[in-house]
Amino acid sequence: MSEREQSSGAVALLRERLASGRLLPVRRALHALNPAEIANLLESLPPRQRKVVWEMVSPEDDGEVLLHLGDDVRTALMRQMDVHELVAAAEELDIDDLADFVEHLPETVTQQVLKALDADDRARLEAVLAYEPDTAGGLMNTDTVTVRPDVTLDVVQRYLRLRGELPAHTDALFVVDRYSHYLGALPLDRILTRGADELVSGVMARERDVLKASLSEERVAKQFEDADLVSAAVVDDRNVLVGRITIDDVVDVIRRDAEHKLMSLAGLDEDEDIFAPVRGAARRRAVWLGINLLTAFFASSVVDLFQGSISKVVALAVLMPVVASMGGIGGSQTLTLMIRSLALGQIGSHNWRFLLRKELAVALINGVLWALVVGAVSWWWFASPMLALVVGLAIVINQTIAALAGIFVPLTLHKFGVDPALAGSVILTTFTDVCGFFSLLALGTLILL
Amino acid sequence: MSEREQSSGAVALLRERLASGRLLPVRRALHALNPAEIANLLESLPPRQRKVVWEMVSPEDDGEVLLHLGDDVRTALMRQMDVHELVAAAEELDIDDLADFVEHLPETVTQQVLKALDADDRARLEAVLAYEPDTAGGLMNTDTVTVRPDVTLDVVQRYLRLRGELPAHTDALFVVDRYSHYLGALPLDRILTRGADELVSGVMARERDVLKASLSEERVAKQFEDADLVSAAVVDDRNVLVGRITIDDVVDVIRRDAEHKLMSLAGLDEDEDIFAPVRGAARRRAVWLGINLLTAFFASSVVDLFQGSISKVVALAVLMPVVASMGGIGGSQTLTLMIRSLALGQIGSHNWRFLLRKELAVALINGVLWALVVGAVSWWWFASPMLALVVGLAIVINQTIAALAGIFVPLTLHKFGVDPALAGSVILTTFTDVCGFFSLLALGTLILL
């Protein structure tokens, strides 16, 4: 704990010192932080201070710190490094991290990094790079410790004493035959608690989860979560052990996936640097604003159809935002529920009809309830019972359409392989705006004029 | 892999069989799933089928399956169980899971569960229950294995052989003095790789992270992520070892926290059952719709002020949605960035001014850009250069206000301890709607009339 308090104290101290410009003690405070904490600190600093702190990070931490940064901040910092520094940073990394790292390097630097590795490490790195980065193969490390099934635990233990330190997060050795085919796992605690003369084959866990190298990283994360794994073997199509995945990398996948959903809903990139240069940030967000503008003009053109009605009953213009926004909120609730459930794989052909009926029922109940409230308020406000009827009907219609859109928009996007979190909310609010305006103004024209 | 394929095959099979009503093979398929997978399956089933499957879950899995369910589904299923079944389910759980479980039990059942435990387990459970559920103490398990510093590794190993199986996710034993004060951790791999005659005190890791029992679960998760921990000791205020936290529980915290953010933004509860009874779901969502309605009426009342202007220049009503929605999108982008950064602890007094300047600059650039576009379109559409000027100015003003609201709304909520993900978006869009309508209509009144 004291160490921990020290290190979060160090961050506060660092910020204070950076603000005051007294830099001498900052370097020492920085050494108390682990790479993830340094990365978090760097992300929270405006560019000028970020540069100052980055230059103080010890070279052996450079690689790991870079890996913990979002894409944008990493790219900016790497642009300031020369080839020699990049190669040095790469050399400090584990193979799985290195595979991530070289993805972000220019081709020429990658060649330099490969040259700097010894033949073994190069072969290992190439093995990982052969897989897509977002699969089990791309996520894995190659630092497996293997034993044969026909030796005793005593022999295993003597081997381990000779070998010395195990790779981080090793909770099990892997048992393979002479052709490296995966046979099972030998958890460390079994080596310690079972008899020294027992055979590995009798002690090993055969039923432990093992991952195909081609498995997507989302599936890997799900499997780790569901089976409470700390590490799992990765095998290729012929059941040959090629590496292992550890929980720390899976936690990163889970966190990144969650950030992706949150940020996508606002049309942002999850790697966005909060202190990104204004020009780049403005350009990226402009895309989303532009898409939204098209849909807003579409909604406006619906209003435009009813200019005559509005000029006669201006109260319709006053009530337009109410109908549209209630539909937007109702639809977003259904949409968010769908996004979560689709991500968890809980929605399929067997249950979406049930879900549709339920969401429609919820929308109808709330539609009627709030139609009565809005109708009553409008009656009192504009002294017109017919206007109250119009706005009430419009709300019921729009809430119903919002529920339909909340179900079918994400289902359709999902079917075509588009992430519903990314495009869902813009499409949905287009529906609810257009239908809200249309139902209010068309009913108004029919009933009031 | 084959096991895994089997089990996801089992889920598909189960659904198919459930749909067709042929239930005999379902029970066997169900046994191939782990509790988390069964919970996920249950959540994806409509209530009637859910009940059928739930009755087929083996009693020894009941407790763990219930813990993996969202609050709503769990409560519904527990309501169908009698006291005897609940006590039986509880008996199968680890202490940390049991502590979670009893929170959801009626008081009378809790007493029965406590009675069914032996004295040791009861004392352990009461130790965990003494802490708030969302702290390290509430999250911990009490199944620590401890050794003394003054024995050799050989003695440790003989002790472990006698003891037999270790608790799940044990990657280290803890070293304590005779008063149970925490001294350090003895990782299993060190026991295996270091000399048998070395003393525990010489081999143990003193620098390993240790958590105060009062630490919040968000901080616990952050620490696990930053330091790539698999397990960590939990100590009380006097440095007495009281338990340990393992990564699987931390992964649950991370996942739940991410879901909470996503669902809160739409005014939903992260525990919401997608197949919740219509009445309950409608009631809960009505609250959010009601809050939104108040803010929508507020925006409408701004429009109401300018009825005279609208009846003369109906084009203003047509352009209202454009100005408001562009502001809403721009503000949401800033808000989402702030929500993420506040959650990561990256925003503080040292950098919010810098962030404000940057977001204002981004908003101004995009404001001017899209003002030109919207102005040009409006000029062409309504053949009025002055209307183009009005709508362009309104967009620049509203984008600026959106950026200000995107920064200050979450900062203020955070300061008062309110989760910005929960209330942020409603407050923000109220700002952007009200200011959008006001700027457009007030400028229109001044310039066009």
Q: For A370-417, what is each residue's pLDDT tens digit?
A: 999 999 999 999 999 999 999 999 999 999 999 999 999 999 999 998
pLDDT at A10: 55
For chain B, percent of residues with pLDDT exceeding 70: 95
Flag whether pLDDT at B11 surpasses 70.
no
On chain A, the residues whose CB falls within 8 A of the CB of B159 are none
Report residue B1's pLDDT band, with 50, 70 and 90 as the boundaries: very low
Q: For B229-269, what is each residue's pLDDT tens digit?
A: 888 999 999 999 999 999 888 988 888 888 888 888 888 87
Q: For A305-315, what is each residue's pLDDT tens digit?
A: 999 999 999 99
Report residue B424's pLDDT band, with 50, 70 and 90 as the boundaries: confident
Domain B2-134 adopts which CATH fold?
A: MgtE N-terminal fold (1.25.60)
- Say which of A235, A322, A332 has its CB closest to residue B296: A322
CATH for the stretch A2-131: 1.25.60.10
Residue of chain A whose Cα is closest to the Cα of B47? A354
Average pLDDT, chain B: 87
Report residue A8's pLDDT band, with 50, 70 and 90 as the boundaries: low
Q: For A44-100, what is each residue's pLDDT tens digit?
A: 888 888 888 888 888 888 888 988 888 888 888 888 888 888 888 888 888 888 888
In which residue ranges of chain A is CATH 1.25.60.10 found? 2-131
For chain A, percent of residues with pLDDT exceeding 70: 95
CATH for the stretch B278-448: 1.10.357.20
In which residue ranges of chain A is CATH 3.10.580.10 found? 146-247
On chain A, the residues whose CB falls within 8 A of the CB of B224 are 251
Report which of residues A242 and B83 the model is more confident about.
A242
Report which of residues B45 and B446 the model is more confident about.
B446
Q: Compute φ and ψ for A271, nearest 5 degrees.
A: -90, 5
- Say which of A193, A303, A339 has its CB closest to residue B317: A303
Report residue A6's pLDDT band, with 50, 70 and 90 as the boundaries: very low
Q: For B85-116, what is each residue's pLDDT tens digit?
A: 888 888 888 888 888 888 778 888 888 888 88
Flag whether pLDDT at A257 surpasses 80.
yes
On chain A, the residues whose CB falls within 8 A of the CB of B263 are 336-337, 340
Q: Give the C-alpha separation, B242 to B182, whole Å.
A: 9
Smallest CA-to-CA distance from A54 within A104, A276, A63 is with A63
Query: What distances in angstroms separate CA A377 from CA A294, A384, A387, B290, B413, one per listed residue?
Result: 33, 10, 11, 13, 30
Report residue A4's pLDDT band, with 50, 70 and 90 as the boundaries: very low
Q: For B285-340, what is each residue's pLDDT tens digit?
A: 898 899 999 999 999 999 999 999 999 999 999 999 999 999 999 999 999 989 88
Are B230 and A251 a contacting pair, CB within 8 Å? no
Flag whether pLDDT at A3 surpasses 50.
no
- A-B interface: how many C-beta pairs under 8 angstroms? 376
Q: What is the mean pLDDT of residues B51-74?
A: 86
Average pLDDT, chain A: 87
- Say which of B272, B330, B362 has its CB closest to residue A278: B362
On chain A, the residues whose CB falls within 8 A of the CB of B261 are 258, 262
Are A221 and A120 a contacting pair, CB within 8 Å? no
In which residue ranges of chain B is CATH 1.10.357.20 found? 278-448
Q: What is the mean pLDDT of residues A272-281?
A: 82
The interface predicted TM-score (ipTM) is 0.81
Query: What distances in angstroms separate CA B169 from CA A230, A231, A300, B141, B231, one per listed residue?
Result: 7, 11, 59, 11, 7
Report which of residues B47 and B210 the model is more confident about.
B210
Query: Which CATH superfamily hosts domain A146-247?
Result: CBS-domain (3.10.580.10)
- In sign, the C-alpha dihedral spanning A213, A214, A218, A222 is negative
Q: For A413-430, what is each residue's pLDDT tens digit?
A: 999 988 888 788 889 999
Q: What is the mean pLDDT of residues A24-46?
A: 82
Flag whether pLDDT at A9 surpasses 60.
no
In which residue ranges of chain B is CATH 1.25.60.10 found? 2-134
Q: For A327-354, what is each residue's pLDDT tens digit?
A: 999 999 999 989 888 887 888 777 888 8
Smallest CA-to-CA distance from B287 within B266, B301, B273, B270 is with B266
Is A449 strand, coil or helix?
A: coil
Tokens for A170, please give them: 């090793």
